[in-house]
Amino acid sequence: MSAVFEQIFQVGFLAAIIRIATPLAFATLGEMFSERSGVLNLGIEGIMLLSAMTGFTATSLSGSLWLGVLVAVLTGMLMGALHALFTVALGLSQHVCGIGVTLFSSGLAYFLYRLIFGQQSVPPNIKGFETLPVPVLSSIPVLGPAVFNQFSLVYMAMLAIPLAAFVLYRTPWGLSVRMVGENPRAADSAGVSVIATRFQAVILGGALMGLAGAFLSMAQFNAFTFGVVSGRGWVAIALVVFGRWDPWRSAGAALLFAFVDALQLRMQASGLGHIPYEAFLMLPFIFTIVAMAVMSRNAVAPSALLKPFRREER
Amino acid sequence: MFRLEVRTSTPAWFNLALPLLAIGATLVLCSGLIALAGAGVLEAYGVMFTASLGDSYAITETMVRAAPMIFTGLAVAVAFRAKFWNIGAEGQLLAGAVASCFVGAIPMPGPLAMVLMAVAGAAAGAAVALVPATLRVKFKVDDVVSSLLLNSVIYYALMALIEGPWKDTFSGYPISPPIEDSANFPVLLEGTRLHLGVVVALIAAPLIWFLIVRTTLGFRIRVTGENPEAARYGGINVERVLLSTALLSGALAGLAGVGEVGGVHFQVMSDISPGYGYSGIVVAMLARLNPLGVVPAAIFLAAVMTGAEAMSRATGVPAFLSDVIQGTALLAMLVALLFTAYRIRRVGTAR
């Protein structure tokens, strides 16, 4: 047993946790911004998939990784704007619109990918991001190679967490976002445009979801496959609840999920007994459901979540 | 100046006009993708129509495909009526398929096997749907997220079965052993795949309509969905209604899986459902959550799916167009539904 234990807890394991957590952190922060403004975005799964596709395609065609990232972010913003158009401007059901955005974006991603790359027996690859050791910091024992010898997008995620907390809690715009999510009528009386603020928050959220998609197809897998997102978007929605709509806690939730996921991958690799590998694959999802059951009782969602705002209605 | 005005009632012809409007808008929007793929728009849609509804054989194929979506559409319609956000029809369908395949492989007289397959499949689907409903009622867990996450869990459970104990030892393929021949649903028309399950789906729709519109349970489901506070005030046990709705919804989704095993595939494999559970959401919304409307809505989506494959072969436009059409149709329908809540009024321009 201790041999298995040693095999699991190594530098590689820590590095794997950080890598798995990165797209989840982006996605979770994105969903958090959206929900703090009062808009549930169930389009996240499809937005991540479409961004992964457009980013991969842009890189594949241009050879530039950062152009790919930019395209993925723009894709996320565009789909965020579409979701905001339906749910904020038109005030339609956030649940059903989100599912609609996911179905539409996924369909579009499959369609365009097949149109551009055709049906190939071996899916096309790109030369994805390479690890970039941070000088000095990467030579810290254990922590250095695990945390500071990563893709540049990983560092971006690390910076995005305090930045998101700063924006949400310390800037006027962050205050507006929290106001329109808690009490839109009061925000409106205070001269804050509920509609504009929600649009901005959902679009910013879309940009972060785009980064999550870009990471998957351009750093983690270096290819686009139809299963490249495989439920990570849904997990991010659960992590926002688990993280109580707070940037730090949400990022912590992403890290915790990544730990479970990395653990199940290691357990698969070390071939524990006769347990089918699918049992391990299930583990993070069951963990998330249980975690939500434990946390949801005390969880306080933004008061105006799911409620459309119309000025003239009371 | 135009102004949105709250509408108090909607004329009956809206029930037909709105979905048609949404479908029309969808086809116009998606024609851009066909043109992008370098094919003629009318030709592509023409092929889609002929291949799905052009002759009697094509119609039977479309109906075979519509059957599971009638069931998942009913499952979603019932759930959404109570505002139980069951996005888990996909997992419930898979659970129904596995359970019915398990029962169908036991030797017994055919008719008995078919009945037991349906019972087992419905029970399995209901059991799965009970999880998010219980989590919501007891632990306040958001039902959308839990039912979505559960889809992945069920899928991996199915994979574990067909790559483990059920794996075909002969071929090594990850497919379950076939059900008994006697348990295969009878084919209704010689030379087609039109099976008994399709008729059952067509009968289920009016039955569910009756249940929703004319029975006490249906009344409770509707009141719970429309105004839970009023329902509670009126002495309705909202939690119990939600759990009953989940059982009914899950059972219907499970039956979709039963039909696929008993009437189409006769075994379980990893791709037994090309997302019929998610399509059920589109079907239910196009039908405006009316069980009777679920039938034409499911037939429309089935025709799109069947037609898209033929269109792809004939014109080279990727068959994934059908996925885009589904997503677009759902969004278009939501926008069209605005006309039921509001009317556009012209008001004098104030200066």
Per-residue confidence band for A5, with pLDDT thresholds at 50, 70 and 90: low
pLDDT in tens, A39-48: 999 999 999 9
Round to whole Å and give the CA distance between A118 and B318: 9
Rounded mean pLDDT, A248-265: 91
- In angstroms and rounded to an integer, the radius of gyration of the C-alpha atoms of chain B is 21
| Model pLDDT, residue A237 | 92
Test B335 with A293 for CB contact under 8 angstroms: no
Q: Is residue B221's pLDDT more than 50?
A: yes
Highest mean pLDDT among A11-15, A205-209, B137-141: A205-209
The predicted pLDDT at position A278 comes to: 85
Please indicate if any CB of chain B lies within 8 Å of the CB of A290: no
pLDDT tens per residue, range B186-220:
999 989 999 999 999 999 999 999 999 999 999 99
pLDDT band at A230 (very low <50, low <70, confident <90, very high): confident
pLDDT averaged over every residue in chain A:
90
**Cβ of B335 under 8 Å from any chain A Cβ?**
yes
Cα angle: B207, vertex B208, B214; to 5 degrees: 85
What pLDDT, in 10s, does the model give residues A56-87?
Answer: 999 999 999 999 999 999 999 999 999 999 99
Phi, psi dihedral angles at B238 (to 5 degrees): -60, -40
Q: Are B51 and B186 in contact (CB under 8 A)?
A: no
Please compute the mean of the pLDDT values over residues A298-309 and round it to a whole number: 83
Mean pLDDT of A110-120: 92
Average pLDDT over residues B94-122: 96
Q: Which of A100, A231, A276 sits opposite B164 (nearest CB)?
A: A276
User: Would you place residue B1 in the very low, low, confident or very high pLDDT band (cuts 50, 70, 90)?
Assistant: low
Give the chain B residue whose CA is nearest to the CA of A116.
B37
With pLDDT > 90 as the criterion, what percentage of chain B qualifies?
A: 82
**Is residue B3 scored above 90 in pLDDT?**
no
| C-beta separation of B122 from B255 below 8 A | yes
Q: Give the per-residue pLDDT at B198.
A: 97
Beta A149-150 vs A132-133: how paired, if at all? Answer: antiparallel
Instruction: Give per-residue pLDDT as tens, B148-175.
Output: 999 999 999 999 999 888 887 777 788 8
Q: Please, are residues A105 and B328 in contact by the beta-carbon 8 Å criterion?
A: no
CA distance A60 to chain B (A): 19
**Separation between Cα atoms, residue A186 and residue A184, nearest integer Å:** 5
Q: Is B33 on the interface with A (CB under 8 A)?
A: yes
**In terms of Cα–Cα distance, which of A89, A107, A135, A248 is closest to B321?**
A107
Nearest Cα neighbor of B302 from B331, B267, B324, B326 is B326
**Residue B175 DSSP code:** B
Predicted confidence band at A310 (pLDDT cuts at 50, 70, 90)?
Answer: confident
CB A48 within 8 Å of CB A27? yes
- What's the length of chain A? 314
Element (H, E) at B346: strand B342-346
Lowest pLDDT segment from A265-274, B46-55, B272-281, B324-333: A265-274
Tell me if chain A has a CB within 8 Å of the CB of B148.
yes
Q: Phi-psi region for residue B173, left (φ > 0), alpha (ψ -120 to 50) or beta? A: beta
Q: Where residue B351 falls among pLDDT bands split at 50, 70, 90?
A: very low
Q: Give every CB contact of residue A62 below 8 A, 6+ residues apart in sequence.
A: A68
Residue B73 pLDDT > 70, yes or no?
yes
Residues of chain A contacting B309 with CB distance shorter than 8 Å: none
Residues of B in contact with A103 (CB under 8 A): 278, 281-282, 323, 326-327, 330
Distance CA A30, CA A251 (A): 11
Helix crossing, A194-215 with A11-36: angle to 10°? 160
B183 touching chain A per CB within 8 A: no
pLDDT greater than 80 at residue B327: yes
pLDDT at residue number B246: 97
Q: A106 at the B interface (CB within 8 A)?
A: yes
Sequence letter at residue B285: M
CB within 8 Å of A232: residues ≥ 6 apart: A23, A24, A27, A45, A48, A212, A216
Q: Which of B150, B160, B281 sits opposite A289 (nearest CB)?
A: B150
Residues A90-114 have a mean pLDDT of 95
B93: pLDDT confidence band, cut at 50, 70 and 90? very high
The torsion angle over the Cα atoms of residues B230, B231, B233 and B239, rounded to 10 degrees, is -130
Neighbouring-strand partners of residue B195: B187
Asked whether B262 and B181 are in contact (CB, 8 A), the reply is no
For chain A, domains (ranges, CATH) are: 10-118+148-295 (1.10.3470)
Task: Round the CA-based radius of gyration of chain A to a whole number and report it.
Answer: 20
Using the 8-state DSSP alphabet, how is residue B235 labeled?
T
Instruction: Name the residue with higher pLDDT: A277 or A58.
Output: A58
Residue at token pair 């319609």: B77
Q: Which of A105, A234, A299 shows the shortest C-beta gap to B149?
A: A234
With contact defined as beta carbons under 8 Å apart, do B147 and B86 qualify? yes
CATH topology of domain B2-346: ABC transporter involved in vitamin B12 uptake, BtuC (1.10.3470)
Q: Which of B5-14, B29-38, B272-281 has the lowest mean pLDDT?
A: B5-14
pLDDT of residue A3: 58
* Cβ-based contacts of A234 with chain B (< 8 Å): 145, 148-149, 152
Do B321 and B311 touch, CB atoms closer than 8 A?
A: yes
Q: What is the mean pLDDT of chain B?
A: 92
The answer to whether B98 faces chain A, any CB pair under 8 Å, is: no
**According to the 3-state scheme, what is the secondary structure of A183-237?**
CHHHHHHCCCCHHHHHHHHHHHHHHHHHHHHHHHHHHHCCCCCCCCCCCHHHHHH
Return the SS3 of B229.
helix
Q: Compare A145 and B184 and report the one with higher pLDDT.
A: B184
ipTM field: 0.92
- The pLDDT, as a whole number, for residue B60 is 96
Q: Quick one: CA torsion of B94, B98, B104, B106, rounded to 10 degrees?
A: -170
- Which residue, among B84, B98, B161, B334, would best test binding to A if mutated, counting the most A CBs under 10 Å from its CB? B334
Return the half-sphere exposure (C-beta side, CA atoms, 13 A cut-off) of residue A136.
Answer: 0
Lowest mean pLDDT among A138-142, B46-50, B304-308: A138-142
- Cα A213 from Cα A217, distance rounded (Å): 7
Listed by start position, the domains of chain B span 2-346
Smallest Cα–Cα separation from B183: which of B263, B120, B72, B69?
Answer: B263
3-state SS assignment for residue A40: coil
- Using one digit for the tens of pLDDT, what is the confidence trace for B305-314? 999 999 999 9
- C-alpha distances in Å from residue B2, one per residue of B5, B140, B343, B347: 10, 42, 10, 6
